[in-house]
Structure 1
Amino acid sequence: MSGELVGLIGILALFGLLIIRVPVAISMFAVGFAGIWALRDLKSAMSLMASESFTLASSAELVVVPLFILMGNVASVTGMSARLYDAAYAIIGRFRGGLASATVLGCAGFAALSGSSVASALTMGKVSMAEMDRFNYDNRLSTGVVAAGGTLGILIPPSTGFVIYAILTQQSIGRLFLAGVLPGLLLLAMFIATIAVLCWLRPGFGPAGPRTTISEKTRKLVGALPVLAVVILTIGGIYTGIFSPVEASAVGAGLIIVIGALMGKLTLSSFWAAAKDSVVTTATVMLILISAHMLNPFLALTHIPSLVGDFLAGLDVGPMAILGLILLTYLVLGCFLEGFAMLVLTMPIYFPVITQLGLDPIWFGVLVVLTLEMGLISPPVGVNVFIVKSVAKDVPLGRIFAGVTPFWFAMLLTLVVLVIFPQISLLLPNTMMN
């Protein structure tokens, strides 16, 4: 049996396992291990499993994953994430659709703490949806804005998606973090503009909230300052070169813990809950990475990545047309596959093509992560939609998908802008390196 045929069988088996809801890490590990066994022998598969597990587990770069996750979890259990929402609500809540815009801003703030889209959607859903219901927001807008706003967690640094992309492609985590800042702010602005347009077309979607006094605005803003200071310090430290990403994650997590303790909000039990959740999430990410390093050698042995790469590179079209085809593939796959699974499956195939075409790998990373975000709210798998459904149990799933649709198109417009103007993604990392 040829390597190409074994590879095709392996890919079909992987899709089959994912369709029947076998966890991503287990699916990739099983296919990779069995594929290497079939193409080489059991000893090679066992040896690779042991060496890759140890190499990844001992990688200093991956320390950023548990520390940034811990930072976000501590901010959540101590109520610091709610303070971000309260500050945004006090400033813009009185405008039509202001509560929804405040929710997006709160999601962006929490994303800058946790780097997790699911955590952002879940936390902000619990914090904001009751308020929007209280002021008679249409449930399509209230659920849609939480599901879409949560996707900012994978783009605004620190982003787990960027960390995995960096490990898979041997790129700089720091440069990727900085490359996500301006695109993240652009997407944030697109979401707020979408809310404004929706509430202008249909005023009943987002009624204006109560006015707040200057003193109330000031008090809420001051309450959010410690969290904002930590975000600015960690990202600013990476930009200025004061911290490496690993050091920034340690500083950020340490400061959030100290602030929570000084506020009297961080008890031993709440810290234990945050730490336990961080360990579970980190273990999930590590399993995916270990599985990726089992699957990728199997795909390399089948020569499928090089065959697909040669085919794409040999097309009689320009580099931008090939890039568009790759991104279209991600948009289609995002309707059926979990984002990290897409990264692991496609990077061995597409990344060599990108480098062969001379396209910037950091810019490509931003585009890929943004398309992964779109998959989080794309039917039928849209993870963030189901997260919001778990909070808003009385809202039909169809109405939630209807609510996220305008935001999906806002993300598509942002993707087009970033493709046309790569400088938006590359300005900060190129400035840092210079």
Structure 2
Amino acid sequence: MSPVAIALTGIGILLVLLALRVPVAFAMFLIGFVGIWALNGFNAAIGLLSSESFTLASNSELIVIPLFILMGNVASVTGMSRRLYEAAYAIIGQVRGGLAAATVIGCGGFAALSGSSVASALTMGKVSLAEMDRYDYDSRLSTGVVAAGGTLGILIPPSTGFVIYAILSEQSIGRLFLAGVIPGILLLLMFLLTIWVLCLIRPAMGPRGPSTSMAEKTRAVMGALPIIVLVLLTIGGIYSGFFSPTEAAGVGAGAVVLMGFASRTLNLSTLWQASRDSIVTTASVMLILIAAHVFNPFLALSHIPDFIEEVLIGSDLGRIGTLIVILAIYMVLGTFLEGFAMLVLTLPIFVPIATALGIDLIWFGVLVVLTLEMGLISPPVGINVFIVKSVAPNVPLGRIFRGVMPFWLAMLVTLALLVAFPQLSLLLPGSMMG
């Protein structure tokens, strides 16, 4: 059997294992280890397994993952995320669709802390769905906006998706964070526009909320001030060059803990809960990354990336045509694969192709991460949809999927704009980091 045939067989078995709900890391460990054994011998497979695990685990850049996750978890248990939603709700809740718009803004703010789409959808779902239900919002809009708004967590920095992309493609985490700012804001605005259009066409979908006085608005904004300061401190520090991403993660995690104790919304018990959840999430991410560094050499030894590169470049689709094909593949994979699994499976194949075509890898990273977001709300998997379903068990799953479709289309329009105008992604990293 040729190396390419071995690789294709391994990928096929891997997809079967993932379909059987075998954890991504364990499936990749197994296929990568057996594949290297078949291609290069047992000793090579054992040696790679031990060396890659130690090398990756000792990478200091990866400390941003547990620190940013801890920052988001502490912000959640101390109620900071709820106060951000309440501030947006007080300002725009009285307009038609205002509660849905406040949810999107709340998701964007929480995304800037947690870097996790699942955490954003879960937290904002618990905070906002009951309020929208109380004011008779159409369940398609209320659940759809939470599922879609949660996807901002993987694009608005600090993003775990960008960190993993940076590690796997050997790009700068700081540049990727900068590159995600304008696309993240653009996507948030597209979601707000979608809500406005839906409520314009069908006003009953998003009834007006109660009016609030200027004093109530001021009080709500002041309540959200700590989380606003925290975002400005961490993200602003990275953008200004005052902090590296690693330093910003440490400052942000330390600051949110101090704020929690100072405001008496955090105690040792809740800090332990947030820390434990952060450890579990970090361990899952690290296992996937280590597994990727076992699986990727298997693909390299099989020459499958070279084979696919020859096929795509030989098809004469051109730079943009090939890019569109790659993004279309991500959209299809997103219907049944989890986002991180897609990153670790595909980047060893597609990054060399992008490099050969002269595609900027920072721009490519933004496009890939946005396409991963689309997978988070695409049927039949759509993990964010299932997260919202767990928070709103009385809403049929099909109704939630219908609710997210307008937002999926908004994401597609945003993706098209980013493909057509690369400077939307490259302006900030080019001007602020050279």
TM-score, scaled relative to structure 2? 0.99
Separation (CA, whole Å) in 1 of partners of 2:119 and 2:264:
23
Gaps of 5+ in 1: none
- How far 1:38 moved relative to its partner? 1.2
Corresponding residue for 2:259? 259
Alignment of 1:404-423 (within 5 A): 404-423=404-423
Residue type at the aligned position of 1:174: G
How many angstroms does 1:315 deviate by? 2.2
Residue type of the alignment partner of 2:65: V
Tell me which stretches of 4 or more aligned residues in structure 1 moved more than 6 Å: none
Paired residue for 1:341? 341
Question: In the aligned structure 2, how far is the partner of 1:283 from the partner of 1:333?
Answer: 24
Q: For residues 219-368 of structure 1, what are the structure 2 equivalents within 5 Å?
A: 219-368=219-368
- Which residue type is aligned with residue 212 of structure 2? T
- CA–CA distance in structure 1, aligned partners of residues 425 and 138 of structure 2: 35
Distance 2:19 2:281 in 1: 22
Distance across 2 between alignment mates of 1:113 and 1:433: 22
Aligned residue number for residue 186 of structure 1: 186
Deviates more, 1:82-91 or 1:43-52: 43-52
Deviation at 1:334, TM superposition (A): 0.6
Displacement, 1:2?
1.5
Offset, 1:91 = 0.3
Could you give the per-residue CA deviations for residues 127-170 of structure 1, whole angstroms, max 9, x where no partner exists?
00000000000111110000000000000001000000000000
CA distance in 2 between partners of 1:264 and 1:145 (Å): 32
Who is 1:12 aligned against?
A: 12
Distance 2:316 2:246 in 1: 43
Residue matched to 1:170: 170
The structural deviation recorded for 1:235 is: 1.1
Q: Distance in 2 between matches of 1:107 and 1:9?
A: 41
What secondary structure, in the 3-state scheme, does the structure 1 residue paired with 2:137 have?
Answer: coil
Q: Which residue of 2 aligns with 1:94?
A: 94
Cα drift, residue 226 of structure 1:
1.2
- For 1:98 and 1:8, the matched residues in 2 are separated by 50
Q: Kindly provide the amino acid, as one letter, of the partner of residue 270 in structure 1.
A: T
Quick one: distance in 2 between partners of 1:327 and 1:73? 32
Secondary structure of the structure 1 residue equivalent to 2:120: helix
Q: CA deviation at 1:18?
A: 0.7
Structure 1 CA distance for aligned equivalents of residues 252 and 192 of structure 2: 28
Residue identity over aligned pairs, in percent, reads 69
1:31: which partner in 2? 31
What is the Cα deviation at residue 317 of structure 1? 2.5
Report SS of the residue matched to 1:335: coil
- What is the CA-CA distance between 1:55 and the residue it aligns to? 0.7
CA deviations 1:222-264 (Å, max 9, x no partner) are 1111111111111111111110000000011111111011000
Provide the TM-score with structure 1 as the length reference: 0.99
State the Cα deviation string for residues 373-426 of structure 1 (Å, max 9, x = none).
000000001000000000000000000000000000000000000000111111
Output the CA distance in 1 between the equivalents of 2:235 and 2:174.
Answer: 9
1:182, distance to aligned residue in structure 2 (A): 0.6
1 CA distance for matches of 2:381 and 2:30?
22
3-state SS in 1 of match to 2:358: coil
Q: Counterparts of 1:222 and 1:59 in 2: how far apart (Å)?
A: 39
Matched, 1:44 2:47: no
* In structure 2, C-alpha distance between the alignment counterparts of 1:388 and 1:230, rounded to whole Å: 27
Q: Give the drift of 1:314.
A: 2.1
How many Å separate the matches in 1 of 2:270 and 2:234?
24
**Gaps spanning 5+ residues in structure 2: where?**
none
Aligned pair count reads 434
| In 1, Cα distance between equivalents of 2:282 and 2:310 | 36
The aligned residue for residue 383 of structure 2 is: 383
- Residues 37-62 of structure 1 deviation map (CA, whole Å, 9 limit, x = unaligned): 11122211111111111111110000
* Structure-1 separation of matches of 2:79 and 2:260: 9
Partner SS state of residue 417, structure 2: helix
Aligned-CA RMSD value = 0.7
- Corresponding residue SS for 2:224: helix
In the aligned structure 1, how far is the partner of 2:240 from the partner of 2:148?
31
